[in-house]
Amino acid sequence: EAQVTQNPRYLITVTGKKLTVTCSQNMNHEYMSWYRQDPGLGLRQIYYSMNVEVTDKGDVPEGYKVSRKEKRNFPLILESPSPNQTSLYFCASGGQGAGETQYFGPGTRLLVL
């Protein structure tokens, strides 16, 4: 089954404790991305990657890091989480063709205390 998986699905942590949210896709997509969804703000892009070892900032990259060492994986790293990073996070992947769409993971709900 073609899918994007994220782990964990739910996470409660404390300020300053480093965490990683994993994302994996099995569709051999070149493109992967991270979004956060907040009430009244919709989906905002954090980082994206066009291919292995190629990453770029989205609209709200501050406080986040990513890496793309393998095509299928695109982890999101919060080196020192803060309460304003409490949010719902989505990973997405897609092909690079002109009409390609993005496929989203189920989401990771993060609470930073």
Partner 1 sequence: DQQVKQNSPSLSVQEGRISILNCDYTNSMFDYFLWYKKYPAEGPTFLISISSIKDKNEDGRFTVFLNKSAKHLSLHIVPSQPGDSAVYFCAARTYGGSQGNLIFGKGTKLSVKP
* Contact string (CB under 8 A) for partner 1, positions 30-69, x = contact: -x-x-x----xxxxxx--x-x-----x-x-----------
Dihedral of the CA atoms 79, 93, 25, 3 (nearest 10)? 120
Nearest to 45 by CA among 2, 76, 6, 4: 76
Q: Does 23 bind partner 1 (CB under 8 A)?
A: no
Distance CA 98, CA 37 (A): 26
Cβ pair 107, 88 in contact under 8 A: yes
Which residue of 4, 60, 66, 110 would you call a contact of partner 1, by CB under 8 A?
A: 4
Least CB distance to partner 1 at residue 59 (A): 9
**1: contact with partner 1 by CB under 8 A:** no
33 versus 85: smaller Cβ distance to partner 1:
33
How far is Cα 32 from Cα 5, in angstroms, rounded to an integer?
12
Residues that bind partner 1 (CB under 8 A): 4, 31, 33, 35, 40-45, 48, 50, 56, 58, 90, 92, 94-96, 98-107
